[in-house]
Amino acid sequence: MALWLVSAFLCSVALLSTLVLGLPVQTEELKPVPIRVTVKDEFTASSSFFQTSVLEGGVLYGALTRLQDSSNGFKFTVKIDPNLGLYLESVNGVAGSEAKHTYWQILSEHDGTVTKLDVGVGCYQPKKDEHIILKYTTWTKE
């Protein structure tokens, strides 16, 4: 758990440094990597499907921002946690709630196998033709 926290912190610091300081990125050499994004609401059984891309080596935050900027009905917000970095706060106006124990889980599907991502939108680097699933779900009390 401690290693995950350190990793999340370092990824967030790197992303924020790039955003705030405007560090140069050599985008002319990087190719766009296509990905699919599915938004699933476990409570309403609704799903939306989107196509987007991210620059080679880029992070999921960039792909979601590109999708949002394309004006095709996808909107999202992130929250910056001082310990965990960027995490997905809302998608299409639906936000997670601590009181209701709801959140946006980020999953990746490869060859029919779905796995939870172990890092957030600020650190995860999608692969070509990857299927990212943003699932509105709940967690149980411990």
Top pLDDT among 30 and 109 is at 109
Q: What is the CATH number of domain 2-138?
A: 2.170.130.30
Q: What is the pTM of this model?
A: 0.78
pLDDT by residue (tens digit) across 121-135?
999 999 999 999 999
> Average model confidence (pLDDT) for the chain?
84
Q: Is the pLDDT reported for residue 58 higher than 70?
A: yes
Top pLDDT among 140 and 121 is at 121
pLDDT the model gives residue 104: 95
**CA–CA separation, 39 and 27 (whole Å):** 28
Q: For the residues 56-72, what does the mean pLDDT come to?
A: 93
**Domain range list for the chain:** 2-138
- Give the 3-state secondary structure of residue 90: strand
Q: Is the pLDDT reported for residue 6 higher than 60?
A: no
Least Cα distance to 25 among 52, 62, 60 occurs for 62
pLDDT the model gives residue 63: 96
pLDDT by residue (tens digit) across 87-97?
899 999 999 99
**CA–CA separation, 1 and 9 (whole Å):** 12
